Structure 1
Amino acid sequence: MRILNEFREFAVRGNVVDLAVGIIIGGAFTTIVRSLVDDIVMPPIGWITGGVDFSNLYVSLDGQDYASLEAARTAGAPAIAYGVFLNNVIAFLIVALVVFFLVRAVNSLKRKAEDETNPTVSPPKDIQLLTEIRDLLGGRPEGEVAAQTDGAPGP
């Protein structure tokens, strides 16, 4: 019974729920990023590179030529699909960039909230004046400050 209670506490803890929500949103976000890479980013890159379809770039390890990566896979030929890898690297970079801007925005909002809850209060004017006097006196030699503070008239 104790293990079930511990598991229940673990499962309903805020971090686990946040993680689950993040994974679900990440899964949905993956399809958007994949579409962005495949349908928006890669066609212009392919056009710039002379119509190269990156998702169809591969090296067949059996030495035979195939019409496409799909044909090589259908034939069971071992192939290094470096074009698919390039697409995945670009998708990763886009996700990393979006997450960076998201975290940056959240951190900015947190800083604003902290600034609003902990406003910096400046000390009263008399304390500021005394602080300035202390700082000015701190720059004088020891004997000069002592001579003026022992009650004797200063120069």
Structure 2
Amino acid sequence: MIKEFKEFAMRGNVIDLAIGVILGAAFGKIVTSLVNDIIMPLISLLLGVIDFTDLSYKAVKYGIFIQTIVDFIIVAISIFLFIKLFNKLYTREKKVKEAPPSMTKEEELLTEIRDLLKANQRETM
């Protein structure tokens, strides 16, 4: 059961989905900050209503928006580096599993005989 779960969790589409959820949540913060800290205060100033929630003056908080973008970039880079390391380790593990088995003595002998026959055939031509 553990082996099946590992195979399920290591599939590309499951990992891609997890990355999408994480980046989507981080990007959602950017959109929320853009609306709350940039667009809504500007709309409030244009319409004469200072704040729609408690009617107090709210300045445009572009610093919060910039910080949210920086947070998103840090999350995206962290996920990228983690996935890059994960893929490197996973492909290395896969290569070890896919390594061709060593030949038995019988197979080595048959290979030598085949090579000698090929060489002999070329010499007779």
Q: Over alpha carbons, which structure has the higher Rg?
A: 1
TM-score interval for Structure 1 and Structure 2 normalised by the shorter chain = 0.3 to 0.5
TM-score normalised by L of structure 2: 0.43
Q: Considering fraction of residues, name the structure with more helix.
A: 2
TM-score normalised by L of structure 1: 0.36
